[in-house]
Amino acid sequence: MKLLFVSTPVGALGSGLGGGVELSLYNIAQEMMRRGHDLQIVAPAGSAWDNLPIVQISGNLQIIAQSLEREAAIAMPENSVLANMWDYVRQVEDEYDLIVNFAYDWLPFYLTPFLKRPVAHFVSMGSLADALDQIIIQISQQFSGTIGFYTAAQAATFPELTPPIYYLSSGIDLSLYQFCSEPKQQLAWLGRISPEKGLEDAFAVAESTTIPLKVMGKIQDESYWQKIQQDYPNAPIEYLGFVSTKEMQRVLRECRALIMTPRWVEAFGNVAIEALACGVPVISYSRGGPASIIQDGETGFLVEPDSIDGLIVATKQLDRINRQTCRDRTQKEFSLEALGERFEKWFVDILNFQP
């Protein structure tokens, strides 16, 4: 197949501003090329990541959807990179069989009926905005089978979607993650540093247990980051910045556990499978994607949402978890091959369905 991937408009691909969907796009692209498909990626100027074939488009970045109210009207900056990327798609679509949208934005859904080629929409978050819910539902009705999610828990946050709905889960290149059986006395927290990720609760765990916490990820909300540090001045924290997968897993693998503190319905939680791949158990609030990844008591612990005490109790039971089990369980469902199988089937189904 000739595939055209269109990236998120909130940041350059590889910058970390796009959070988990960047890693997803990277992994799916690598796996499609490995399977012999032709692939081109359209992404904001400044995008670069290993050998990915990227057409860079200039323009102003889009505001992140989670910073807006549900009822917010659709907003586009002047010289919008989102609009410019999709104008490029309009110009070149005849050269491709399928367009794949990775943006969590209204425009690509609205433009679908105006384009000649089919568009597969990979929805990367739970429901956040009424206008976006409405257009997603409309496209799921008008273009059967073209809407894909990470998980059923994520899809359930949207009102009545028309089946078939595709749950693609996620996957990582397991060869990049090395198993570690003897961890140090430290915990990890990974992700975009933004209010919906609940980092303050991990600070509270570190302060209460005095177990050092390694924090890695892009600071998306500076004032939020400053406030957490003021609120927990004595927490034993080390912030390591936004680092490459190779660097990140070198620290992560030596941790006793990854702490996940999602305030919202996390669509998936790529960081959870990155930890499990290193043999690191995951302790998470039981909501959204992590609840469908973690096997409670076997590969980590699922805790009552927003209960800091629950997180602390779980850190005290980590010796119950077999780290090899964490790695083994990840091999099957979350390998790149398994991910590629699911996406390739989705894409073929869409092309076969074309009227």
- Residues in the site for ligand HBI, rule: CB under 6 A? 8-10, 18-21, 62, 64-66, 103-105, 124-125
- Of all residues in the shown chain, the one whose CB is closest to ligand HBI is 19
The smaller minimum CB distance to ligand HBI, of residues 16 and 340, is found at 16
Q: Which is nearer to ligand HBI, 31 or 105 (CB)?
A: 105
CA distance 198 to 211: 18
The CB-of-291 to ligand HBI minimum distance in angstroms stands at 17
> Residue 232 or 268: which CB sits closer to ligand HBI?
268
Name the minimum Å distance from CB 264 to ligand HBI: 11
H-helix or E-strand spanning residue 274: helix 270-277
Q: Which two tokens stand for residue 44?
A: 């904001």
DSSP state letter for 157 = T
- Choose between 110 and 179: whose C-beta lies nearer to ligand HBI: 110
| In the complex, minimum distance from the CB of residue 194 to ligand HBI, in angstroms, rounded to a whole number | 9
Determine which helix (DSSP H) or strand (DSSP E) holds 80, and give its type and residue range: none
Which two three-digit tokens encode residue 85? 């990327």
Query: Based on CB atoms, which residue is closest to ligand HBI, 125 or 135?
Result: 125
Q: How far is the CB of 8 from ligand HBI (least distance, A)?
A: 3
DSSP 122: E
Closest CA to 316 of 180, 185, 181: 185
Q: What gap in Å lies between CA 256 and CA 323, rounded to an integer?
A: 9
Output 196 or 207, the one with its CB closest to ligand HBI. 196
Q: How many Cβ atoms are within 10 Å of 57's Cβ, its own excluded?
A: 22
Nearest to 188 by CA among 259, 248, 243, 238: 259
Helix or strand run (H / E) with residue 70: none
Instruction: State the minimum distance, in angstroms, from the CB of residue 9 to ligand HBI.
Output: 6
CA distances from 263 to 117, 224, 290, 337, 346 (A): 37, 14, 12, 31, 30
In angstroms, give the least distance from the CB of 174 to ligand HBI: 21
> How far apart are CB 310 and ligand HBI at their closest, in Å?
25
Q: How far is the CB of 297 from ligand HBI (least distance, A)?
A: 28
User: Cα–Cα distance between 153 and 71 in angstroms, integer?
Assistant: 22
Q: Are 206 and 235 in contact (CB under 8 A)?
A: yes
Distance CA 168, CA 155 (A): 11
H runs (alpha helix) in 128-256: 130-142, 152-155, 199-209, 222-231, 245-252
d(CA 74, CA 93): 25
**Closer of 20 and 171 to ligand HBI (Cβ):** 20
Which of 269/300 has CB closer to ligand HBI?
A: 269
